[in-house]
Amino acid sequence: MSATTISPLSTRRSLDWDRLWERFGISVVLLGVWVLAAIFIPAFSNPDNFINILRQSAFVGIAAVGMTMAIISGSFDLSIGSTLALAAWTAVVTASATGSALIALFAAVLVGALVGCVNGWLVTVVKIPAFVATLGMLFIVRGITFIITNGAPSRYNGPEFIWWGNGSLLGIPVPFIVFLVCAAIGAAVLRYTALGRYIFALGSNAGAARVAGVPINLVTFLVFVIVGIFTGISAMLLGSRLYSAGPGLEPGFELNVIATVVLGGTRLAGGRGSMLGTLAAALLFATLGNVLNLLQIDAFVQRVAVGLVLLIALSIEGVRQRLAERLSRE
């Protein structure tokens, strides 16, 4: 059940600042950061640089679309980092075997979906808590990846394949276009489909959702599959971008994705969330990385920065909860 407090009567008249911030807050911050960076860092306003940011944001961003839906439903998936590696490798290998990028994409998505099925099964049937189940799968899938690849990455640079991760359409990087499409689909599912409603309901109050007739197990299972699918898409694009993929791809990926979702305004406890926020947060993180690069700050510092941002974003929610508790006891 989400940690919502009933809004005090006074906000019934005025704007619901809470919700507005949740929806648009990060976008505002993003624009602010862009403006500031453009003013203070000359290299930033270079259009090529900007395109780079768009491209970079997509890899974490697409997976974050799926994770957003998972977190809104009150679930969680720690295994996506390993799934990413496995799916990316599958994409590369499939591409080099068939020469077709689309088949590679399909293969990656299939791998992601399969892992999602296993996760879903562990959580809904075996009833292992999502955290432990996906933690276990994180290592199991990683092990499988190592075994299948024999520890070595595979490479492929067929032009059709690498266009996806490196090419542009009308000046806009292809991965970013895919990101926008995925985000739009995700937003549409959440907003306009029964599944979307069920996802919000499950995260908002699982008990009430059950009473209201939501098929809880089915929704939870589907959510894991969805996470897997989006991770698969991201994986194919990443493999395409790097011309290669293997175990050890993008360490820390799961944290980046979760941080993106949380920063974007989606509550960790579920029931509330915004795809627009995820989009903005993905761009913000990419911007952050870009700025740190331009300022020639250590790559390692960047990793610390991501962790810090996540903790700060979560602490704010934690502190708010504490204040609310203190107020209600009076």
Partner 1 sequence: MSSSPPLLEVQGLSRRFPGVLALDHVDFDVFPGEVHALVGENGAGKSTLINMLAGVIQPSGGTIKLDGQAVRFANPSSAQHAGISVIFQEFNLLPQLSVAENIFINREPKRGPIIDWPTMYRRASDVLDMLKIEIDPRAVVQSLSVAQQQLVEIARALSFKAKVIVMDEPTAALNDREVDRLLEIVRSLADGGVGVIYVSHRLAEVLTVADRISVLRDGRHVLTAARRELDEPKIVSAMVGRELLHVACPPRTPGELRLVVRDLSVEDYVKDVSFELHGGEVLGLAGLMGSGSTDVVEALFGLRSMQAAEIKLNGEALAIDGPRSAIRSSLGYVPEDRKRSGILPDLSVKHNISMGIVERLRQVVWVNEREDQKLAEQYQSRLNIRCRSVNQYISGLSGGNQQKVVLARALAGNSQVLLLAEPTRGVDVGAKAEIYHLIDELVAQGMAVLMQTSELPELIRLANRCLVFADGKPQGELAKDDLNQERVMALATRFDVKGKAA
Partner 2 sequence: MSTLRRLWQTIWESYRVGLFVIAVAIVLTLLTPRFMQAENLMNVLTNASVTAIVGLGMTLAIASGNFDLSVGSIAAFAGSISMSLVPSIGIAGGVAAGLLTGAIVGLINGLIITELRVPAFIATLGMLTIVRGLTLIYTSGHDIYLYGQTGYKILSAGAMPLVLALVLAALLGFVVKYTRFGRHVLAVGSNSAAATRSGVRTSRVLWGVFAIVGTTAALSGMIISAQVLTANGRLATGLELSAIAVAVIGGTPLSGGKATMIGTLLGALLVSTINNGLNLLNVQIFFQELTTGVLLLIAVAFSIRRGYHPRALLRRQA
Contact range with partner 1 by CB under 8 A, out of 7-15, 50-58, 90-98, 317-325: 7-15
CB 108 within 8 A of CB 236: yes
Site size toward partner 2, by CB under 8 A: 52
Q: What angle (nearest 5°) sits at the alpha carbon of residue 233, between those of residues 106 and 164?
A: 90
> Does residue number 142 form part of the binding site for partner 2 (CB under 8 A)?
yes
Residue 205 interface partner, choices partner 1, partner 2, none, CB cut-off 5-8 Å depending on type: partner 1
Q: What is the signed CA dihedral for 182, 187, 190, 191, rounded to 10 degrees?
A: -150
Q: Which two tokens stand for residue 316?
A: 């704010």
What count of other Cβ atoms lies within 10 Å of the Cβ of residue 278?
31
For the chain, the residue count is 330
> Does residue number 122 form part of the binding site for partner 2 (CB under 8 A)?
yes
Minimum CB separation from partner 1 for residue 73, in Å?
12
Give residue for tokens 């619901």. 16
Minimum CB separation from partner 1 for residue 276, in Å?
17
C-alpha–C-alpha distance, residues 239 and 262, integer Å: 26
Instruction: List the one residue out of 67, 114, 66 whose CA is nearest residue 90.
Output: 114
Tell me how far CA of residue 131 lies from CA of 74, 75, 119, 223, in angstroms.
11, 8, 10, 14
User: Taking the chain, what is the end-to-end CA distance rounded to the nearest angstrom?
Assistant: 23
> Does residue number 300 form part of the binding site for partner 2 (CB under 8 A)?
yes
> Does residue number 123 form part of the binding site for partner 2 (CB under 8 A)?
no
> Does residue number 194 form part of the binding site for partner 1 (CB under 8 A)?
yes
Residue 298: alpha-carbon gap to chain centroid = 24
Coil vs helix vs strand at 223: helix
> Does residue number 272 form part of the binding site for partner 1 (CB under 8 A)?
yes
Residue 110: alpha-carbon gap to chain centroid = 18
> Does residue number 32 form part of the binding site for partner 2 (CB under 8 A)?
no
One residue of 29, 33, 103, 269 binding partner 2 per CB under 8 A: 269
Sequence-distant (≥ 6) Cβ neighbours of residue 68 within 8 angstroms = 186, 261, 264, 266, 273, 275, 278
Minimum CB separation from partner 1 for residue 231, in Å?
23
CB 125 within 8 A of CB 65: no
- Rounded to 5 degrees, φ, ψ at 244 are -160, 165
- Of 196-215, which residues contact partner 1 (CB under 8 A)? 197-198, 200-201, 203-205, 207-215
> Does residue number 214 form part of the binding site for partner 2 (CB under 8 A)?
no
One residue of 58, 86, 138, 275 binding partner 2 per CB under 8 A: 138
One residue of 45, 169, 298, 327 binding partner 2 per CB under 8 A: 298
One residue of 41, 110, 128, 292 binding partner 2 per CB under 8 A: 128
Contact range with partner 2 by CB under 8 A, out of 23-31, 171-179, 280-288, 304-312: 304-312
Would you say 298 or 325 has its CB closer to partner 1? 325
Q: Which residues bind partner 2 (CB under 8 A)?
A: 74, 76, 78, 122, 126-133, 135-140, 142-144, 146-147, 150-151, 251-252, 255, 258-259, 268-270, 298, 300-308, 310-311, 314-315, 317-319, 321-322
Q: Which residues bind partner 1 (CB under 8 A)?
A: 1-2, 4, 6-7, 11-12, 16, 19, 192-194, 197-198, 200-201, 203-205, 207-215, 271-272, 330
